[in-house]
Amino acid sequence: MSERVIELEVLRYNPETETEPHFQRYLVTCEEEWVVLDALNHVKETIDPTLNYRWSCHMAVCGSCGMMINGEPKLACKSFLRNYQGVIRVEPLAHFPIERDLVTVIDDFMTKFKRVKPYLIPKDEKPVCEGEYRQTPAELKKFKQYTLCINCMLCYAACPEYGLTPKFIGPAAISMAHRYNLDSRDGGRKERQQEIASGEGVWECSFAGACSEVCPEHVDPASALQQVKIASTVDWYTEHLMPWVKK
């Protein structure tokens, strides 16, 4: 296995003992095939036990290890060292308050996520003993990609609007609302629209598309936001120009 020494420049911040964040450099002997998370683990284990960050699955599915790597929002477990030259700068996800070191405070996301009612509101309630709701592969395909969101919040760190207007509900939460709206079993769209079609919802989005570019699961939140915009425009016209049509 070929080794390589890399230089990590990691943002450190301890609110108990420091007033300002600062960068700390670590020289790490790495295997060529490592990801940034492996290098951080190596630092934690052999150089500096006081370094803090979140991680668990090491397979890009738990969503814990989102961080800025050379200024881009990335999952540390899927950022291969082979793709980086020179010093690698690691910072906490942008647009979130820092709790400590690379750990961010994600309360804002958790609150917004809950607000959009990200759960099935059945169109036709039926008891479990009557079996499954039928859903064809084509119906499943309509919303499947939006179910793949791992809540890693890279899209919030990439979104220029969220940076400017923190009240914006944001890509992941709106995509999840859209996922349920598109589900053939669901009848809750109207309830969700109150949140996501509001000023704090899709109309904050300037369609920069950065969310879809950084999404590690190819959820494509930008497409969800545009579809919600179109749907709520149709709603508006239906309501104002064709008031006799029942929604």
- Binding residues (CB under 8 A) for another protein: these are 1, 14-17, 33, 44-46, 49-50, 52-64, 78, 80, 99-101, 103, 105-106, 110, 113-114, 117-120, 122, 126, 128-129, 131-137, 139-140, 143-144, 147-148, 150-151, 176, 180, 183, 185-186
**Using alpha carbons only, how large is the chain's radius of gyration in Å?**
21
What is the rounded CA–CA span in Å between residue 145 and residue 175?
10
| Closer residue to another protein, CB minimum distance, 54 or 229 | 54
Cβ contacts of 96 within 8 Å, gap of 6 or more: 104, 105, 106, 108, 109, 153, 156, 157
What is the rounded CA–CA span in Å between residue 202 and residue 28?
43
| Closer residue to another protein, CB minimum distance, 25 or 114 | 114
| Closer residue to another protein, CB minimum distance, 38 or 161 | 38
| Closer residue to another protein, CB minimum distance, 99 or 200 | 99
| Closer residue to another protein, CB minimum distance, 111 or 198 | 111
Question: What is the closest distance, in whole angstroms, from the C-beta atom of residue 47 to another protein in the complex?
Answer: 10
CA nearest 146: which of 181, 198, 193? 181
Cβ atoms of 152 and 211 closer than 8 Å: no
Cβ contacts of 152 within 8 Å, gap of 6 or more: 63, 64, 65, 66, 75, 216
What is the rounded CA–CA span in Å between residue 104 and residue 225?
25
Question: What is the closest distance, in whole angstroms, from the C-beta atom of residue 180 to another protein in the complex?
Answer: 7
Question: What is the closest distance, in whole angstroms, from the C-beta atom of residue 29 to another protein in the complex?
Answer: 16
Residue 25 is encoded by which pair of tokens? Answer: 């450099």
Question: What is the closest distance, in whole angstroms, from the C-beta atom of residue 237 to another protein in the complex?
Answer: 30
Question: What is the closest distance, in whole angstroms, from the C-beta atom of residue 123 to another protein in the complex?
Answer: 12
Question: What is the closest distance, in whole angstroms, from the C-beta atom of residue 199 to another protein in the complex?
Answer: 23
Q: Is 227 exposed, middle or buried (0-12, 13-18, 19+ CB in 10 A)?
A: middle
| Closer residue to another protein, CB minimum distance, 64 or 212 | 64
| Closer residue to another protein, CB minimum distance, 161 or 181 | 181
Question: What is the closest distance, in whole angstroms, from the C-beta atom of residue 19 to another protein in the complex?
Answer: 14
For 57-94, give one letter per residue: b (16+ CB within 10 A) or e.
ebebebbbbbbbbbeebbbbbebebeeeeeebbbbbbb
Cβ atoms of 133 and 185 closer than 8 Å: yes
